[in-house]
Homo-oligomer: A and B are copies of this chain.
Amino acid sequence: MNSLPPRLYEQLRPESLSAPCAGCIGRSLNLCGALTDAQLPELVALGGRRHWRRRDILFRAGDPITSFFKITRGLVAISRTLDDGRRQIVALRLAGDCVGFLHTDGRYTFEGHAVTDVEACAFSRRRFDELAQRYPALAAATAEALVRAQREAGELVAAMGRLRSTERVAFFFARMHALHASRFGDVRSLDLDMNRGEIGDYLGLTIETVSRSIAKLKKRGLISLPHGNEVVIENIDGLRQLGKFTP
């Protein structure tokens, strides 16, 4: 690691969420210790940078996969829409995460859309797989990321199957807090970039129920919404307990 040129070293630090592509893929996959400067140029060469506006689609379910994306800024929702229009968000991905990695017969399994404005690096799936063949540390980090994603999916299943509406919304805030804390350190307040409809689509609830549940959490003093976008986490332990969220 110490042999890396200073600028590249900077990009590889875990904290450099918004660094160019070489840094961001290393960071996402916890590869900082695994990469050497010899491998770095290949990673740099893989991807190009792109950005999307709120509500833009990054990829659609069923489209042929050519690339996946490493988010460097913003929030992406992974979702499935039923034939009759019911929509379910199955995962949320923030800066540092990869999206568009799941496939079914070479096609995207779910849809990805930008919840906020989003910046990401696009990587050729084919070239990434080739690289992973040659660098075991990259493959190991990919598996690690997939394991983490699956743990989160399992926890969401448990929340949806067994929690009532207000508990689910508490789960949502506890999880958002954890996601932000893991990236930006412990925080008392965070931007609520999702509207009621998106929260409902994530938790399997309607807009109205989300609204009423948020009101209950405010009344219990667990959160407050001082203005517009900002949520203040007043009592994270209470939120976690109510939402059965294990940190």
Q: Which residues of A contact B (CB under 8 A)?
A: 78, 80, 82-83, 86-88, 90-91, 101-104, 109-110, 129, 132-134, 136, 139-140, 142-143, 146-147, 149-151, 153-158, 160-162, 201, 203-204, 244
Contact = CB atoms under 8 A, between A and B. Distances in A.
A147 B80 CA distance: 16
Contact of A142 (B143, B151, B160): B143
Given A83-B244, A88-B158, A129-B140, 6 more contacts: A102-B154, A110-B154, A132-B140, A132-B143, A133-B140, A142-B143
Contacts of A86: 162
Count copies of this chain in the complex. 2
The dominant DSSP class at the A interface is: helix
A142 B145 CA distance: 12
Contacts of A110: 154
A29 to B, nearest CB: 12
B102 A151 contact: yes
